[in-house]
Every structure is written in C-alpha cells, then in structure tokens.
C-alpha cells in the first residue's frame, strides 16, 4: 500500500519543456500522459520521451498514463511501461476488472485505474479490488462528457461511488482535475469539496495548482494537535474527550491522520 498522494500532476509526455520543468517540482506524484494530452501523430515519440524521462529520474515518484485498451497504442504503451522505471501505471477509462488485472500483470507494477465512464462507475468496486490496483482516480472531464452533465454538481453520485469503491477495497482515491487555470479560488473550493467527499488528494494540470491542493488536503495544525491529544488520552471503549464521545474508530482515525502527516510523501510504499 502506497502513501496516498495529495497532489498528482499530469503533464503531456510530448512536451519537453513541461518535463524539464517537472524536474524542479514537488507534487507527491507526477503522471506523464500518453493519452488525451498527446495528439495522435505524437504518440510514439511521447512514449519514448516518457520512458527516457523516468529513466533520467525525478525528485518524486512518477507514473505513466497509457492509452486505453482497444486503442492502437495500448499494447506498445504497456510494453514500454513494463520496461521502464516508472513507479506506477495509470490506466484511463477503466471498465473491466479482469482487463485491469491483466494490465497490472503486464506492466508488473501497481496500477491506478481511472474511473471516467458510466460503465466504469458501475464496475468501480470490482476494479478497485482487482489484483494490482492500488487505487482509483476520478476522470471528471470524461465523466461529465459521458453523463451529459454541465458541471460538477451532476457528478456527485459518481464521485461518491468512486470513493466508496476505493475505500471498500482499501485503496487510495484521487479527485479529478480543475481546468480553469486562472481561477485558484475555484480550485481551492473544489479541493475542499473533494476532501469532504473523502478523496485523498487531487489530480492537477499546472504547476501553480500544486501548493493550493497541498494546502487543501494537508491536515491543519489544530487537527494534528487534537489527534495527538486523542491518541495520548485513549483508554479503549467509549470515553468523553473534549466534550464529545470517542470510541476506537476515532482513535484509529487520529493515528492515521498523524501517520499521514508525518509519512515520507515522496517515497511510495509499493
Ligand atoms: C494546460 C496547459 C496546456 C497550459 O500550458 P501553458 O499555457 O503553456 O502553461 P504556462 O505558460 O502557464 O506554463 C508555465 C510553465 O509551466 C510549465 N508547465 C505547464 N504545465 C505544466 C505541467 N502540467 N507540468 C509541468 N510543467 C508545466 C510550462 O512548460 C511553462 O514552463 P516553461 O516552458 O519553462 O516556460 C498545460 O499546463 C498542460 O499541458 N497541462 C497538462 C495537461 C494534461 O496533462 N492533460 C491530461 C490530463 S487531464 C485529464 O485528461 C484528466 C481526465 O482524464 C479527465 O477526463 O478529466
Ligand atoms: Mg479522461
């Protein structure tokens, strides 16, 4: 089980300047994209660039998002990831648990499955529990498109189903991207909403978004102080703590919060 990223930055593997810039960035995870961010004529060169980039190394863990099953590039992408030094593979438009297990076996590293179609949402519990799947990512652009909803409000049920499926399988779960590059307040608000749904972190598309999402998903000082006090005071069974009832699950949640806050965020435990 890897420590869940709070911030996962997508970048097109076809953009050398973005790759160069990413070397000095510190999201919890980089995702070099071969799928929708890359135009068809650039697919092969982007694949080679992604493999070269992860071979050179980044300061943080790096994933490669392959093209989906049924596309002309899928098999070559999987072979490239399998032979690469990528920490993770991201599979878009996941819909079938058995196919995803086969992808995880082929790339021989953990897979983050993107849930971004109605069929994917309905299959999310089986996908999250499939062998080799470390967690789920909500693909909100594709999901809104396919559900024919104009905005995030119409995604609420799907987003909560994705969180539910990931948690039931014990995996991590990341929220979708915020497209409006010039609206940091909107990003912060969407991060807060995603956190309230239970997401561990957010996928991002621009370096300027990293600090905003990191702040939104990091536990604040007051929460950490309270968690430490609760763990110290824990006696087992029901108890009064600062005016409220606490039981074992509250102590467990406090311990998890403290562990997450002190975890080495740039070293995934795979
Ligand atoms: C959205 C962008 C195309 C905007 O690009 P641009 O206008 O060039 O940005 P800036 O001029 O503000 O860039 C400033 C410098 O930062 C570098 N940069 C920009 N974006 C990134 C990045 N993501 N990672 C690393 N570095 C980045 C630029 O190169 C500039 O540096 P320099 O060249 O040295 O001056 C662009 O931000 C972008 O391509 N973003 C990522 C797009 C992407 O990966 N999309 C796929 C994932 S989103 C998705 O598909 C989710 C899901 O599937 C769904 O359905 O929702
Ligand atoms: Mg998508």
Token code pair at residue 193: 């909403």
Ligand 2 is an ion; residues with CB less than 5 A from it: 116, 139, 142
Token code pair at residue 34: 């071969």
pLDDT at 270: 35
Ligand 1 pocket test target in 7, 15, 95, 139 with most atoms within 8 Å of CB: 15
Token code pair at residue 204: 């991002």
**245 CB-near residues (< 8 Å, 6+ apart):** 238, 239
pLDDT at 267: 43
Instruction: Look at residue 161 and give its three-state secondary structure.
Output: helix
CA distances from 34 to 22, 50, 77, 159, 222 (A): 16, 8, 8, 24, 41
CA–CA dist 59, 35 (Å, integer): 23
Alpha-carbon radius of gyration of the chain: 19
Alpha carbon nearest to ligand 1 atom 44, residue: 11
Atom of ligand 1 nearest to the CA of 176: 56
* pTM (two decimals): 0.94
pLDDT at 236: 87
CA–CA dist 87, 85 (Å, integer): 6
CA–CA dist 233, 13 (Å, integer): 50
Asked if 109 and 83 touch (Cβ cutoff 8 Å), the reply is no
Ligand 1 pocket test target in 18, 34, 117, 159 with most atoms within 8 Å of CB: 18
pLDDT at 269: 33
ipTM of the predicted structure? 0.99
CA–CA dist 6, 26 (Å, integer): 11
Instruction: Look at residue 56 and give its three-state secondary structure.
Output: helix
Alpha carbon nearest to ligand 1 atom 40, residue: 205
Per-residue pLDDT of the chain (270 residues; tens, 9 = 90+): 578 999 999 999 999 999 999 999 999 999 999 999 999 999 999 999 999 999 999 999 999 999 999 999 999 999 999 999 999 999 999 999 999 999 999 999 999 999 999 999 999 999 999 999 999 999 999 999 999 999 999 999 999 999 999 999 999 999 999 999 999 999 999 999 999 999 999 999 999 999 999 999 998 899 999 999 999 999 889 999 999 999 999 999 999 889 888 764 544 433
Residue 257: count other Cβ atoms within 10 Å of its Cβ: 18
pLDDT at 185: 98
Q: How far is the CA of 73 from the centre of ligand 1 (A)?
A: 22
Alpha carbon nearest to ligand 1 atom 17, residue: 18
């Amino acid at each position: 089980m890897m420590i869940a990223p709070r911030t996962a930055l997508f970048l097109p593997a076809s953009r050398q300047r973005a790759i160069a810039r990413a070397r000095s960035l510190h999201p919890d995870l980089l995702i070099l994209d071969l799928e929708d961010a890359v135009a068809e004529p650039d697919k092969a060169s982007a694949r080679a660039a992604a493999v070269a980039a992860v071979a050179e190394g980044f300061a943080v863990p790096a994933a490669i998002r392959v093209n989906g099953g049924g596309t002309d590039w899928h098999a070559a992408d999987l072979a490239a990831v399998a032979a690469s030094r990528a920490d993770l593979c991201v599979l878009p438009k996941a819909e079938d648990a058995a196919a995803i297990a086969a992808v995880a076996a082929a790339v021989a590293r953990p897979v983050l499955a993107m849930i971004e179609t109605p069929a994917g949402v309905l299959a999310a519990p089986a996908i999250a529990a499939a062998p080799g799947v470390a967690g789920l990512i909500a693909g909100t652009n594709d999901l809104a498109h396919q559900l024919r909803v104009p905005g995030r409000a119409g995604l609420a049920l799907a987003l909560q189903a994705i969180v539910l499926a990931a948690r039931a399988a014990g995996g991590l779960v990341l929220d979708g991207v915020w497209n409006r590059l010039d609206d940091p307040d909107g990003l912060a608000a969407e991060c807060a909403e995603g956190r309230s749904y239970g997401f561990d972190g957010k996928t991002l598309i621009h370096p300027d978004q990293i600090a905003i999402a990191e702040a939104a998903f990091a536990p604040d000082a007051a929460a950490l102080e309270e968690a430490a006090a609760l763990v110290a005071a824990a006696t087992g069974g029901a108890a009064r703590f600062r005016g409220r009832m606490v039981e074992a699950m509250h102590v467990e949640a406090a311990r998890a919060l403290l562990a997450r806050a002190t975890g080495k965020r740039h070293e995934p435990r795979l």
